[in-house]
Amino acid sequence: MSLLSLLIALAVERSLSTQAFRFSFYYQHYQHFFSKNFTAKQGKVASAIFILLPVLAIFLVVDTIDNPVFELVFSTLILIVCFGCNITRTRYKNYLYSAFKGEHTTTKMHHQQLLSDKNLPDIGFGQALVWLNYRYYIAIMLYFTVFGAAGAVFYRLLTSVIEDKKSACIAQNFATASTEHSEVETNVTAEEEDLTNQPKTADQEKINPTILSGCQNHHDVLFWADWLPVRIASFGYVFVGHFSKAMPVWLESLFDNKKPTHQVLITVAESSEDIIVNKDDCTEEPCLLVRLAKRNVLFVFAVISILTLVGLIN
């Protein structure tokens, strides 16, 4: 049943562009409903309730459906809604459009907007697309295969909540840093101005917000939620790319619990492909990595299909 849902969802997801098939549409309405009807709007407990309520509701609905056809339709619709990200797709199209027109400044702006939208560190545009392809397709496929429609909703809600938390933390850190900087400027003397020109210390550098600054508890939750799926997805890159080059990199990162999950995936993906890029062409690397990521999605689907047909996955 899950195999058929995956096949249908992957086939029709891109052609269904209306609001009714976008996760952001339901997420925004649910946020409004939750904030309006629940007093606890912040903290880990509220975040857990916010995530678990829809997951539990979908689990109960699927569990109570006796008709296999209705269950298939319901699960497929949930999967279609969870798949993809319209913002990422729009940024990618705008990036390519600006690059082909030779508008390098606008191209860099779309690159930075994508990183800002998804609260990603300073990585290449193609690297960001590889990671987001995992987050909005492969990870959801794996959670759906193991835990059903409720699992897909759980992962998509978890990533959305943590992205929102990181955005709030980054904004707060920027505001705090700006306030402290303003207070220091009002009291600085001529001698102290000379000291401000010196390089920043390690402690001072920590003020600048990154993907790991603040909200560390929330990041840890997503780190472990991604730990195994990232290893599975990166293993796919070993087979769809250069096996002999990517396999040692994958083995090196297999039990590394300190390395961020996005670095694990991106490092293996890049090592699985010969990326010889013309510095004047900013579309070559993203297009190459996107084609590689699409092959990996098909490979993961093929593996799920084989495991389902032989009976290892129900």
Q: For residue 224, what is the DSSP state?
A: H
Nearest to 301 by CA among 243, 240, 224, 215: 240
Tell whether the torsion through CA atoms of 117, 119, 121 and 124 is positive or negative. Answer: negative
Tokens of 71: 């269950």
| d(C-alpha 215, C-alpha 201), whole Å | 23
pLDDT in tens, 247-256: 999 999 898 8
Q: What is the Cα–Cα distance from 104 to 280, expressed in whole angstroms?
A: 10
Q: pLDDT tens digits for 159-184?
A: 998 887 765 554 444 444 444 444 44
- Name the nearest CA neighbour of 273 among 259, 258, 292: 292
pLDDT at 166: 62
pLDDT (mean) for 70-88: 93
3-state secondary structure 34-74: HHHHCCCCCHHHHHHHHHHHHHHHHHHHHHHCCCHHHHHHH
Q: Per-residue pLDDT for 146 more than 90? A: yes
Average pLDDT value over all residues in the chain: 82
In percent, the amount of the chain with pLDDT more than 70 equals 79
Which residues have C-beta within 8 Å of that of residue 100, sequence separation ≥ 6?
A: 283
pLDDT number for residue 82:
95
The residue count for the chain? 314
pLDDT at position 193 is: 46
Residue 88 vs residues 111, 113, 117: alpha-carbon distances, Å: 10, 10, 9
In this prediction the pTM is 0.83
Give yes or no for a contact between 131 and 56, defined as CB atoms under 8 angstroms apart.
Answer: no
Q: How far is CA 80 from CA 6, 10, 149, in A?
A: 9, 8, 10
Lowest mean pLDDT among 43-57, 127-141, 227-241, 285-299: 43-57
Q: Are 27 and 134 in contact (CB under 8 A)?
A: no
The tokens for 23 are 């996760």
pLDDT band at 41 (very low <50, low <70, confident <90, very high): low
